[in-house]
A and B are shown apart, each in its own frame.
Chain A
Amino acid sequence: MTLAHRLALAAACLLLALPAAAMTQQPVTVTGRVTGDDGAPLPAATVFIEGLGLGAQTRDDGRYSILVPASRASGQQATLTARRIGYRPTSVTVTLAGVVTHDFTLAAAPSQLEGVVVTALGIERQRRELGTAVQSVKGEELAEARETNIVNALAGKISGLEVTNAGPQGGSARVVIRGANSIAGNNQPLFVVDGVPISNRSDIVGGFGGYDYGNAAQDINPNDVESVSVLKGPNAAALYGSRAANGVIVITTKSGKSSRGVGITATSNMTFESPLRLPRYQNQYGQGAAGEFEFVDGAGGGVNDGVDESWGPAFDGQPRAQFFGVGPWVASPNNVRDFFETGRTWTNSVGLSGSTERANVRLSLTNQNVGGVFPGNELEKWTASLNGGAQLAKRLNATASMQYIKSDGTNRPGTGYDVANPMEQFVWFGRQVDIKKLKSYRDANGHQLNWNYNYHNNPYWISHENQNNDRRDRIIGTGAATYQLASWLSATGRLGTDWYREGRKLTIPSGSIGEPFGINDQTGGFFETLLFNQETNSEFLLNANRKLTSVLGLDLTFGGNRRVNDFRTNNEGTTELIVPGTYNIGNSAVKPTVSAYEERRRVNSLYGRAGFAFNDYLFLEATGRNDWSSTLPTDNNSYFYPSVSGSLIFTDAVPALSLGNRVSYGKLRGGWSRVGNDARPYQLQLTYNPGTPFGGIARYAFPNVLPNTNLKPEETTSWEVGTELGFFDNRLGLDATYYNKATTDQILTAQVSGASGFTNVVVNAGKITNKGLELQLNATPVRLRGGFEWNVTANFGKNQSNVAELYGDLQTVTLGSYWSLTVEARKGERYGALYGNPLLRDDDGNLILIDGLPQKDAQKRVLGHFTPDWTGGLLNAFRFKGVDLSVLFDTKQGGELFSVTNMFGRYSGVLEETLEGREDGLLIKGVNEDGTPNSTRVSTEDYSHSLFEIHEPFIYDASFIKLRELKLGYTLPTSLANRLRASSVYASIVGRNLWLKAKVPHIDPETAFDASNAQGLEFGQLPSVRSIGFQLTFTP
């Protein structure tokens, strides 16, 4: 309330300072053309008459036209400004009378230091005004070197932004900006599309099986994206709420403003995918144990034929009983690679746009079809997007955008240590198994045919018989109306919603080996999930924008928001059917498993922002927001959070500082903010958990989590300072930021001794600090008269986290665990410690061996951290006449991961390194328990088995460098394009993930089971894909 009073007072003061408004007589037309400094027309540039709130976007030919109504044109002087993302804005003063013509030539700002960026609430602002770090990517940069998940497409392009792509195609990507704020809660930024927060929900899958259905933000179609701005610090939280404490990814979709009449663009993109990296296998010894193998029934009836390891006889080409009968004993070197198919991704998009003086609209339709590298896997997505705006009345303007997305997944591969993941059995495998002989996976009697009947299902059975289908229908829509109360005061109402429903069904037929998912092998069974998710934001905004004096401008915003979240899920399934093949709950032979969950949340907010601009070189901004959240106790549910920031263009303020134009642009900026955050719903009351009825007897279990009736909001405090420098006419630009933030009073489900009767208690405790440095370097090393240009963009982000405090005597909070290694937030450590068992050593560091074999040190310790030391990207772009070439490298350096593929691949004897000592054994360097040097030779098989669940040997440096994107494009000369009845034609060859350099053997270090905080774990990684293809864009 005090905020409201203060703002009201400020508004009242403003009133008194108003100069007279001018009288108006005749309509005025302002027209012209906007071109780049290379002479090419610039479409989608904005030309704006300052103070009148009137403007237009340029068409494809760079032309614009603005009609000023007679009532508002009186021959007065006005400032006409042209802006485009990536260019320096230019202003002229014109007299509004008759027909005004002005052509603009905009200088490219490859340094990204200047120009327009979209900030909070979709407001386009000059970069120079911003006191905190913001970095943008143009839509075409995301759409061209096509990546199906928009989150992955940001990798390497934004400093301080860390993307982790989880395995399968269509799977989740995790993005974290400036490190983790929350010990165990969400650490990913908020996604906002056209002013509407959207869901980026993803399931926690874990490492023991399941399906990764992806993160919800990947529904956004890159073809419809005009630009992406990344607001890195928490300063935007005043306008977007608590969730922005992790940063905001602001996505603006394309509109129809830039076209006159009807414009059509068609884009077609086709790429081919293949596994980027598969383990290197040994090809000298086949299936079995202790050098022996003979197949009888594949389940232990023969000689080691139940064993799914490759410690069998050496390949000698001699006849031997195998799963298909007697055949020569030879290796199948490519049996894993041959299982995967060449994937193809075909994207076709057509966009229609049109505009008149008073209205504009863009309609687009995109189809994306992915045939996965995993046999039988297909992902299809349709996106229909509508974006329109209209001047409904003299003072009333309305905009609306809507996207409908339908995505279907067919037979996604399972992940983790599970029978549904084909890579699991390739870690346990016989190197002689000829995959082609498994392709017809039924024998003459219709039973499953496989190389092993003890543990695994035929991989083709998994991909073809285990049907796993999902479908999501989603609508993201927003409508807004703005009423111009006065030339300096407007009121906006906006309603936005993100709505989706999703269905998933997994069916397992009869005839499986080992009852996957507990489903009866005689009858089969199924599981089905329905999800419903909706977030609705309704808000109002009052905007006042006014020059107070000739040098001082004031910009005020006051608004309110109500956010409502609604989530529901229903699950049903059965492990046993009456009649095999009918996957309906009515056909369940046993009591079906059913469950349901729903969750609601409401947050009411009031917020305000005041911005001051002095002489266009000094800018100050203050924001404040108060939230009332349903998830906190009534006494504690209101919390206020403020921010301040400022920016100074010192080269404008003191021109002498440009050192004779060597420093063409210099800016200093800084910001401070504090953000409150609420809890997840239902943390305040103790509730009981239903058990399945036991026969006819109902059961309820006492809960494991002790709730907290006194929860208070958690708090993130952050400050940052930065500078933006342009040299040599901005051909060299540097943007540097140092930040420091701390999140305290974390709402934490802390583990406690189970002996208390609870496993966890909900508490307000703990503190994480993050500090770091972000650098962006932009340079144009070469720009020749003939049109050749070479641009370089480098991004660097280094973050240092520290778990400063936890709850009480608690030393650690477990984020996840895998094969008895835990991922932890440990007090005094960097976030994401990998805590596991080392090899047993004496005080001098020698391995202590028993019977010649290494031993596990039962005392666990920190063996690494999944959080990297730094991330970076390097983009080189070359342009000559119609040809452009860009090359993006992306890297993460530092950080570790625990690779269970390496652990079990060694255990099972399939990996290349297990050849060492096969014939003569190994003499492991170390000492016996009595301190004498070891002299006992051991078999490689025994040595490899002895390393099971000793984590240390399988912790690897996760550093990598990837050739993330390569693009070679050609724009047809206009004359040639015209002959094809097109105004422009652009063709390119694109590639993604073409090359990898990593320290970890056998796998891609960019790996995860899901997008949760339990990172740094790997097993049976579904190979990441290398993608090569071409794109054609045709504009009639």
Chain B
Amino acid sequence: MAAPLMNNRSMLLSKFPRAAAAVALAATLAACDQGLTGINEDPNAPREVSAQLLFPQGVTSVVGLLRGAGFDLELTSLWAQHYAKIQYTDEDWYNIRPGTIDTYWSSFYAGGLADFAEAIRQAEAAKEPNLIAPAKVMRSWTFGAMTDLWGDIPYSEASKGQENLTPKYDAQQDVYAGILAELKESSDMITADGTGYADADLIYGGDMTKWKKFANSLRLRYAMRLSKADPTKARSEIAAALAAGVFTSNADNAELQWPGDGTNDSPLYANFRTRNDHRVSKTLVDILQGSSDPRLAVYARPTQADATKYVGVPNGLKSPDATALGLTRTSRIGARFALRDAPSMLMDYAEVLFIQAEAAARGWTTGNAAALYAAAITASMQRFGVTGSGITSYLAQPSVAYNASTGLQQIALQKWIALFGQGIEAWAEWRRTGVPNLQPGPAATIGMVARRLRYPLSEQSYNNTNLLAAIARQGADEYTTRIYIDKP
């Protein structure tokens, strides 16, 4: 028996080191696989992109959201009573799905604002003021709309990423101060000889002179918005903005031209191609018809049933009541706004003139209020393709012609009309001026036209301490709470 035992043992002993070596080798290979980390380099997306790629993304994102299905189309143009819904009217009587507000909130901060923040960071590192300024102007344009929607919002601590996952809310007063300061800073840093973002500048194609005017015109807008809350600041800011140079013709208008290529169609076209839910508001149609305003034929389409008639839909009806008015017997929104490549207006010359008219009427400037008022209406008419006698005969009407005793109301009403297509601005102006005298629809769940938007529910879950501080400062988180700029 001894021999087989020896045999067997030597056989095994000779095998064992081989097996052990294989094990050791495998362990070494597994642990020291240098390729492992490289496998996790994401092949699908770059880790660095230039400011020239981020800036147009930010611009199209925020303009699409504010002028499109996010706000103007489904909320703010309804609340300004420019548009009304004939089907799915919920938002028109202030019944808003909180989930959509969550999405919009993130679409601002983690969308366009994040793109602008990164573009600014890169441009500042490269010391390129003509890349910094347009991004800051667009950021201010966006924050201005947001603070008008909600009041207090995260501003100074927003978009800081890992540094601050729970940014505090700034009082609207401070947000306005920040916006006005940043617009001034932007205007000051622009060097007119550069081309900025060049082709990637979807607003002005790299014309830095126009960016400078846009910065100052926006400064004018947000300064005038303080007319009740802080008239002193409003006055001084308006004077400074005018001195720095604002829009001087419709050629200066800040607008985004949609390519209309199937993937980037204008927001109204994209909605109307499949939906037939929107109409012009009865409020608007009545006012335009009351003064035979030639812009009616631009803002509205005649009814399908009778091509000689323009019929508006009252705001704030329950869906069945609205639908009962007849899809074919009411006026859709003007065809020019629903073109596939229709532009979205960020700010136009008429608004700049209306602000100057109001400043003059308030005695803040030495301008001629009546002349500025007429010029503003003319600029608006011209922008919408109305020319010559159409304008003069409109202006000649006694109800339209400037009357110093009712000047502020006239300016406010005409500005509201001219802001068609920029619903959020018209709604913000209505809150400041109370003109026209908008009333909530019969189905309204609140006793008045909404004066702000409620905060998104997501903030309760993810940023509650700061949210509660803002509510404590500003007032209940309701549609009826007045924000800082909205004084009775």
List the 9 shortest-distance A-B pairs measured between CB atoms, nearest first.
Answer: A590-B262, A300-B327, A754-B106, A757-B159, A687-B45, A695-B259, A753-B463, A755-B154, A604-B30
> Could you list some 14 contacts between A and B, CB below 8 A?
A8-B23, A12-B16, A18-B12, A301-B327, A590-B261, A600-B43, A685-B42, A685-B47, A692-B264, A752-B165, A754-B105, A756-B164, A758-B114, A761-B165
Cβ–Cβ < 8 Å partners of B13 in chain A? 15
Shortest CB distance B275–A (Å):
8
For B, the interface residue count at a CB cutoff of 8 angstroms equals 96
User: Restricting to B438-488, which residues have a CB under 8 Å from any CB of A?
Assistant: 456-459, 461-465
The verdict on A634 contacting B37 (CB below 8 Å), with A699-B53, A754-B108 known, is yes
Measured CA separation A301–B323 after assembly (Å): 10
Task: Scan B254-283; emit 1 where CB is below 8 A from any A CB, else 0.
Answer: 000001011110000000011010000000
Say whether, besides A702-B115, A754-B106, A754-B458, A809 and B44 are in contact (CB < 8 Å): no
Q: Give the Cβ gap from B79 to chain A, nearest Cβ, in Å.
A: 19
| From A8, A486, A757, contact of B117 by CB (8 A) | A757
**Contact A682 to B264, CB < 8 A, known contacts A11-B16, A687-B47:** no
Besides A631-B40, A756-B164, A758-B114, 12 other A-B contacts (C-beta < 8 A): A8-B20, A20-B5, A304-B320, A454-B276, A606-B26, A630-B36, A630-B37, A688-B47, A688-B53, A698-B53, A810-B462, A941-B320
Cβ–Cβ contact A486 & B462, under 8 A = no
A350: Cβ under 8 A from any B Cβ: no
Query: Which residue from chain B places its CB closest to the CB of A812 in the assembled complex?
Result: B461
Asked if A686 is an interface residue, CB under 8 A from chain B, the answer is: yes
- Cross-interface CB contact of A949 among B37, B97, B113, B259, cutoff 8 Å: B97
Give the number of chain A interface residues (Cβ < 8 Å): 101
Chain B residue, CB-CB nearest to A487: B8
B263 partner, pick from A591, A704, A755, beta carbons under 8 A: A591
A81: interface (CB < 8 Å):
no
Closest-by-CB residue of A relative to B340 is A590
Alpha-carbon separation in the docked complex, A454 to B320 (Å) = 14
Residues on the A chain within 8 Å of B9, using CB: 15, 18
Q: Which residue of B lies closest to A596 (CB)?
A: B44
A697 & B199 in contact (Cβ 8 Å cutoff) = yes
- A986 interface residue, CB < 8 Å from B? no
B26 touches A697 (CB 8 A): no
User: How many angstroms between the C-alpha atoms of A422 and B54 in the bound complex?
Assistant: 42
A756 and B166 within 8 A (CB): yes
| One of A558, A689, A704, A751 near B462 (C-beta < 8 A) | A751
Contact bitstring A293-309, B, C-beta under 8 A = 1, else 0: 00000011100101100
Binds A, one of B55-63, B226-234, B369-377, B403-411: B55-63
Cβ-defined contact, B113 with A628, below 8 A: no
Bound CA–CA A518/B274 (angstroms): 8
Nearest CB of chain A from residue B178's CB, rounded to whole Å: 15
List the B residue with the shortest CB-CB distance to A708: B162
Contact of B264 among A560, A694, A812, A941 (CB under 8 A): A694
- Beyond A689-B45, A700-B54, whether A757 also contacts B110 by CB under 8 A is yes
Is A593 part of the binding interface, using a Cβ–Cβ cutoff of 8 Å?
Answer: yes
Q: Does A574 contact B (CB under 8 A)?
A: yes
CB 8 Å contact bits of A736-753 with B (1 = contact, 0 = none): 000000000000000111
A596 contact set on B, CB distance < 8 A: 44
Measured between beta carbons, the chain A residues less than 8 angstroms from B110 are: 702, 704, 754, 756-759
Tell me which of B30, B43, B318 has the highest count of chain A C-beta atoms within 10 A of its own C-beta.
Answer: B30
CB of B8 within 8 A of CB of A304, answer no
Q: 1/0 contact trace for B220-252 toward A, CB 8 Å?
A: 000000000000000000000000000000000
- Report chain B residues within 8 Å CB of A299: 276, 327
Contact residues in B for A598 (Cβ distance below 8 Å) = 43-44
Give bound CA distance, A691 to B44, whole Å: 13
Interfacial chain A residues near B20, Cβ < 8 Å: 8, 11
Does B390 make an interface contact (CB < 8 A)? no
Assess the B27–A756 pair: CB atoms within 8 A. Answer: no
- In the assembled complex, the Cα of A869 lies from the Cα of B154 at a distance in Å of 43
A590–B320 CB distance below 8 A: no
Binary flags per residue of B1-44, CB closer than 8 Å to A gives 1, else 0: 10011001101110110011011101101110101110111111
| Total contacts A-B at CB 8 Å | 268
**Does residue A879 face the partner (Cβ distance < 8 Å to B)?**
no
- With a CB–CB cut-off of 8 A, which chain A residues contact B154? 753, 755
In the assembled complex, B328 has its CB within 8 A of some CB on chain A: yes
Task: Identify which of B42, B114, B261 contacts A757 (C-beta below 8 A).
Answer: B114
Is A289 interfacial (CB 8 A cutoff)? yes
Partner of B274 from A515, A601, A689 at Cβ < 8 Å: A515
Distance in angstroms between the alpha carbons of A86 and B245 in the assembled complex: 91
Please give, as numbers and ranges, the residues of chain A lying within 8 Å of B461 by CB-CB distance: 751, 810-812
| B42 CB contacts on chain A under 8 angstroms | 681-682, 685, 687
Chain B, Cβ-Cβ closest to A702: B114
Are the C-beta atoms of B22 and A757 separated by less than 8 Å? no
Asked if A638 and B46 sit within 8 Å, CB to CB, the answer is: no
Bound-complex Cα distance A90 to B98 (A)? 68
B385 at the interface (CB under 8 A from A): no
Q: Is A966 an interface residue when CB atoms closer than 8 A count as contact?
A: no
Of the residues A634, A684, A702, contact of B54 by C-beta under 8 Å: A702
Assess the A687–B46 pair: CB atoms within 8 A. yes
Q: Taking CB as reference atom, which chain A residue is nearest B158?
A: A755
Nearest chain A CB to B287 CB, angstrom units = 26
| In-complex Cβ contact of B40 among A301, A306, A684, A696 (8 A) | A684
Minimal beta-carbon separation of B139 from chain A (angstroms)? 12
What 0/1 pattern do residues 571 to 603 of A give for CB contact below 8 A with B?
Answer: 000111000000000000111010011111110
**A996 within 8 Å of B (CB atoms):** no
In this complex, the member of A300, A562, A605, A808 whose beta carbon has the largest number of chain B beta carbons within 10 angstroms is A300
* Per-residue interface assignment for chain A, residues 620 to 637, with 1 indicating a CB less than 8 Å from any chain B CB and 0 otherwise: 000000101111001001
Judged by a CB distance under 8 angstroms, whether B160 is at the interface is yes
Distance between Cα atoms of A702 and B108 in the complex (Å): 12
Closest Cβ neighbor of A604 among chain B residues: B30
Residues of A within 8 A of B161 (CB): 706, 756-758
- Chain A residue contacts of B462, Cβ below 8 A: 751-753, 810
Contacts of A697 in B (CB 8 A): 56, 199-200, 202
* B30–A688 CB distance below 8 A: no
User: Nearest chain-A residue to B327 (Cβ)?
Assistant: A300
A689 — which chain B residues lie within 8 A by C-beta?
A: 45
User: Does B40 lie within 8 Å of A753, measured CB to CB?
Assistant: no
**Nearest chain-A residue to B2 (Cβ)?**
A20
A435 and B370 CA atoms in complex are apart in Å by 67
Nearest CB of B to A561, in Å:
9
B29 touching A809, Cβ below 8 Å: no
B57 touches A628 (CB 8 A): no
Q: Is A126's CB within 8 Å of the partner chain B?
A: no
Tell me whether A755 and B167 are in contact (CB under 8 A).
yes
Chain A, residue nearest B199 (CB): A697
CA of A18 to CA of B53, assembled, Å: 72
A809 partner residues in chain B, CB cutoff 8 A = 166, 464-465
| Docked pose: A50 CA to B440 CA in angstroms | 89
CB atoms of B12 and A486 under 8 A apart: yes
Q: Are the CB atoms of A700 and B36 closer together than 8 Å?
A: no
Residue A690 lies at the interface, judged by CB distance under 8 Å to chain B: yes
Q: Kindly provide the distance from the CB of B233 to the nearest chain A CB, expressed in whole angstroms.
A: 26
Question: Does A359 belong to the interface (CB within 8 Å)?
Answer: no
User: Which residues of the partner chain A approach B98 to less than 8 Å between Cβ atoms?
Assistant: 820
Q: What distance in Å separates the Cβ of B306 from its nearest Cβ neighbour in chain A? A: 13
Distance, CA A21 to CA B22, complexed state (A): 26
User: By the criterion CB–CB under 8 Å, are B56 and A7 in contact?
Assistant: no
Quick one: closest B residue to A303, CB to CB? B324
Q: Are B44 and A597 in contact (CB under 8 A)?
A: yes
The reply on A290 being an interface residue by CB < 8 A is yes
Interface assignment of B69: CB less than 8 Å from any CB of chain A = no
- A757 and B160 contacting across the interface, CB-CB below 8 Å: yes
Q: Which residues of B contact A454 (CB under 8 A)?
A: 276
A485 interface residue per 8 A CB criterion: yes
Q: Is there a chain B Cβ closer than 8 Å to A1's Cβ?
A: yes
Q: Is there a chain B Cβ closer than 8 Å to A94's Cβ?
A: no
The docked-state distance in angstroms from the alpha carbon of A589 to that of B262 is 8
Q: How far is the CB of A524 from chain B (nearest CB, A)?
A: 13
